């Protein structure tokens, strides 16, 4: 159970690193617009805002990556904290922006959180 939990934590971190790249570097490209369903005008006008959001995703990923190398109890507590943050942000995003966020952010984080809690 512990190994599965750590693999899922790592996967969630990788997902959020990908969000960082999309939001900070690819936002105003065809790939970024396709991923987020935006227009060229919107992506151009909101690029700074998206980069800021990408930075937050990077912090979430950094916290999860750190937790994979930290010692317990810090590792366990850090994983719980960051995964809860991602679940809450994902639920809020699903309620306010797009239901898709529930599946790509909150879902994986909730599954990882469940395994982390069961393995703890």
Name, in order, each residue with C-beta under 8 angstroms of 92's C-beta and a sequence gap of 6 or more.
none
Q: Provide the token pair at 31.
A: 């790939």
Give per-residue pLDDT as tens, 41-52.
999 999 999 999
Residue entry with tokens 């393995």? 119
pLDDT for the residue numbered 120: 84
Give per-residue pLDDT as tens, 55-96.
999 999 999 999 999 998 999 999 999 999 999 999 999 999
Calculate mean pLDDT across residues 34-43: 94
- Write the DSSP string, the chain: -HHHHHHHHHHHHHHHHHHHHHHHTSTTSHHHHHHHT--HHHHHHTHHHHHHHHHHHHHHHHHHHHHHHSPTTHHHHHHHHHHHHHHHHHHHHHHHT-THHIIIIIHHHHHHHHHHHHH-
Give per-residue pLDDT as tens, 103-114.
999 999 999 999
Q: Are 115 and 8 in contact (CB under 8 A)?
A: yes
**In residues, how long is the chain?**
120
- Could you tell me the pTM of the whole model? 0.92
């Amino acid at each position: 159970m512990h190994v599965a939990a750590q693999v899922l934590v790592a996967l969630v971190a990788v997902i959020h690193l990908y969000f960082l790249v999309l939001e900070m570097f690819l936002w105003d490209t065809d790939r970024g617009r396709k991923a987020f369903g935006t227009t060229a005008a919107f992506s151009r006008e909101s690029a700074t805002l998206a980069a800021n959001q990408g930075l937050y995703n990077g912090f979430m990923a950094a916290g999860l990556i750190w937790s994979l190398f930290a010692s317990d109890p810090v590792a366990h507590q850090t994983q719980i904290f960051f995964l809860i943050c991602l679940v809450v942000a994902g639920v809020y995003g699903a309620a306010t922006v797009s239901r898709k966020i529930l599946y790509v952010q909150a879902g994986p984080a909730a599954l990882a959180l469940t395994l982390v809690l069961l393995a703890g």
